[in-house]
Amino acid sequence: MMDTPLTISAIADHVATFHGSREIVSVTADNPRHRYTWGDAMLRAKKLAAALKKLGLQQGDRLGTVAWNDYRHLEIYYGVGGAGHVCHTINPRLFPEQLIFIINHAEDRWLAVDPMFLPLIEKIAEHLNSVEGIIVLTDEAHMPESSLDNVHCYETLVGAESGDFEWPQVDERSASALCYTSGTTGDPKGVLYNHRSTILHAYAGIAPDVLSLSSQDTVLPVVPLFHVNAWGIPYSTAIVGAKLVMPGPKMGDGETLYELLDSEDVSIALGVPTVWLALLQYVEQNGKRLDKLERTVVGGAAVPRSMIEAFRDIHGVELRQGWGMTEMSPIGTVNSLKSGLESLDSEARLDLATKAGRGVFGCELRIVDDAGNELPWDGVAYGALQVRGPWVCSDYFKLEGKSGSHTDDGWFDTGDVATIDPEGYLAITDRTKDVIKSGGEWISSIELENTAMGHPDVAEAAVIGVSHPKWTERPLLLVVRNEGAELSDKAMLAYFKGRVADWWIPSDVVFVDELPHTATGKVKKVELRQQFADFKLSG
Ligand code: ADP
């Protein structure tokens, strides 16, 4: 067989050839509804590549992005990756020290930033060692003032090029993108994706039992382009020629999301659980229905049963849960119904849908005990979850084996604790560091959170372990009540009776106005553990 390389530029050429007239719709800070086509996007990606060459970017060099989901960010994915540079997507909500660390560690030569993030970069600019200039993602009319030197306007750079740029030949095993893990413990760690891993991962994502993408679909990634390459959506939608809809800075805004879903006929939307809380709340309060949406893919954190139920029973929308991580590009498992399980009744299907899903071809799974022995797939035994496959990282960027993240026999240790049932469905019980150890036994914080969120008065819940003189640790439940709800602590704890083992029932509950979230919408458990470190349990 021929050995034609699997490269980002090959996707760019394919989508321009076969799906050039398919639409891309974006919300941006300077335009509430920008529309153009995949053909336009790929032409502009070539113009960008030509402009970057003139700025001196060489193959392998990193360009950092600090931007929301919109068409300019998408063009950077292709213009940078296609030309053999590395697109380093940066999470704008990280602390300034983390941003400085990441940009210096990646040795980003240029940064491309949304105008709203320019002040953030100005504040840290004096600490950035490698950055030669900034490209502001807007046109001349909207260019902000800046105290920095060498600031360029994106539209001016792109507008000066003809688009006759030829994509260079690149090795499919050379780097195309870079993402850092959020680094809740220690410094953030970089994961370097290559062209081949990116394409294999995108291919896998398209399959009917995974994300199920076709040219007929309209796809709304609410997962940020800076969060593990938006789960591969910028690539997989181009391979199939799907319409793409991007919400720009309006990620967490239920009203904008609803309007995009409705007016653009979105069939598939993807994001972490918290963004769907905002959407479900909006539609409920405004008497709307999600009639056109067929499917949501939800991952990045455990999905509450009540959310799966609300999508299914109120809106007729299938919620597919997925599990993965930055180190895995990110897809590991996706929860779709296997042949033979159709006879499960409605409740049993819901139970199954709360699991993280089953293995996707290309990502092997195993669970092991402390001694490294493989555990049975009986749905009961839990252990450290390890993975292996062509889109799983073999090491962290520049760490060269120092992180201790891989086993001697070549598996990546995910830091998650899981069970796998006889059908191959994985259930995440916890992150290793979030597990609550009570009297020598483990309690799953995720299961307690899901149970609490099943209560109709609960908007959001988190469970952490706090120290206990007799049991080492006991679970403490933190709850955000729905607006106007008068749920008492007694009633909240009584709700667990019969739903979980008695000794799992949290020892105490604290009602809070809100929970702290990371930029990717996950509850910051580290912060909660610090905040409640001296909490005296009443139970
Ligand atoms: P970080 O949160 O460290 O930035 P990722 O975004 O890569 O990194 O998150 C990966 C982690 O998110 C997984 O290791 C797992 O703990 C958690 N996670 C992802 N999907 C799920 C899921 N469906 N259920 C439970 N936990 C999940």
Check if 490 is active-site: no
Give the CA distances from residue 160 to residues 13, 50, 51, 82, 166, in Å, rounded to whole numbers and listed in that order: 22, 10, 8, 19, 16
Distance 414 CA to ligand 1 centre (A): 9
Give the whole-angstrom CA distance, residue 322 versus residue 440: 30
Percent of the chain with pLDDT over 90: 86
Looking at 255, 442, 524, 527, which residue is catalytic? 442
Q: How confident is the model at residue 42 (pLDDT cuts 50, 70, 90)?
A: very high
Give the whole-angstrom CA distance, residue 35 versus residue 246: 10
Mean pLDDT of 347-367: 97
Mutate to test the pocket of ligand 1, among 321, 325, 405 (most ligand atoms within 8 A of CB): 325
Residue 184 confidence (pLDDT)? 56
Does 72 have pLDDT greater than 60?
A: yes
Distance 35 CA to ligand 1 centre (A): 33
Residue 441 confidence (pLDDT)? 81
Check if 89 is active-site: no
The answer to whether position 347 is within a domain reads no
Residue 486 confidence (pLDDT)? 93
Q: Which CATH number belongs to the domain containing residue 172 in this structure?
A: 3.40.50.12780
Measured by CA distance, the residue closest to atom 23 of ligand 1 is: 323
Give the residue from 78, 59, 40 showing the smallest Cα distance to 163: 40
If you search the block for the tokens 């050429």, which residue do you land on? Answer: 13
Q: How confident is the model at residue 440 (pLDDT cuts 50, 70, 90)?
A: confident
Question: Which atom of ligand 1 is found nearest the CA of 184?
Answer: 3
Question: Which atom of ligand 1 is found nearest the CA of 327?
Answer: 7
Cis peptide bond upstream of 330, omega within 30: yes
Mean pLDDT of 505-510: 96
The answer to whether position 140 is within a domain reads yes
Measured by CA distance, the residue closest to atom 11 of ligand 1 is: 325
Give the whole-angstrom CA distance, residue 292 versus residue 219: 12
Looking at 28, 89, 181, 429, which residue is catalytic? 181
Give the whole-angstrom CA distance, residue 449 versus residue 469: 24
The answer to whether position 273 is within a domain reads no
Measured by CA distance, the residue closest to atom 12 of ligand 1 is: 300
Q: How confident is the model at residue 185 (pLDDT cuts 50, 70, 90)?
A: low
The answer to whether position 422 is within a domain reads no
- Of 181, 204, 227, the residue at which a domain comes to its end is 204
Containing domain of residue 512, as a range? 436-531
Measured by CA distance, the residue closest to atom 4 of ligand 1 is: 182
pTM metric for this prediction: 0.91
Does 141 have pLDDT greater than 70?
A: yes
Check if 327 is active-site: yes
Distance 518 CA to ligand 1 centre (A): 12
Ligand 1: residues with CB < 6 A are 181-182, 228, 299-302, 321, 323, 325-326, 330, 356, 414-416, 428, 431, 520, 522
The answer to whether position 373 is within a domain reads no
What are 529-534's contacts with CB under 8 Å, separation 24+? 529/464, 529/465, 529/466, 532/464, 532/466, 532/476, 532/478, 533/466
Does 419 have pLDDT greater than 70?
A: yes
The answer to whether position 477 is within a domain reads yes
Q: Which CATH number belongs to the domain containing residue 447 in this structure?
A: 3.30.300.30
Task: Say whether 232 sits in a helix, a strand or coil.
Answer: helix
- Of 138, 171, 204, the residue at which a domain comes to its end is 204
Q: How confident is the model at residue 403 (pLDDT cuts 50, 70, 90)?
A: confident
Mutate to test the pocket of ligand 1, among 95, 319, 323 (most ligand atoms within 8 A of CB): 323
Does 138 have pLDDT greater than 80?
A: yes
Question: Which atom of ligand 1 is found nearest the CA of 181?
Answer: 4
The answer to whether position 382 is within a domain reads no
Residue type, 57: L
Question: Which atom of ligand 1 is found nearest the CA of 446?
Answer: 25
Residue 95 confidence (pLDDT)? 81
Distance 335 CA to ligand 1 centre (A): 15
Give tens-digit pLDDT for 287-340: 999 999 999 999 998 898 999 999 999 999 999 999 999 999 999 999 999 999
The answer to whether position 229 is within a domain reads no
The token pair that represents 51 in the structure block: 């402009």
Give tens-digit pLDDT for 450-463: 999 999 999 999 99
Question: Which atom of ligand 1 is found nearest the CA of 522?
Answer: 2
Q: How confident is the model at residue 539 (pLDDT cuts 50, 70, 90)?
A: low
Distance 1 CA to ligand 1 centre (A): 38
Check if 437 is active-site: yes
Mean pLDDT of 256-281: 94
- Of 187, 204, 221, the residue at which a domain comes to its end is 204
Question: Which atom of ligand 1 is found nearest the CA of 414?
Answer: 14
Mutate to test the pocket of ligand 1, among 416, 419, 432 (most ligand atoms within 8 A of CB): 416
Give the residue from 296, 340, 303 showing the smallest Cα distance to 318: 296
**What is the total count of domains within the chain?**
2
Measured by CA distance, the residue closest to atom 9 of ligand 1 is: 325
Out of 19-28, 37-46, 260-269, 515-524, pick the least confident: 515-524
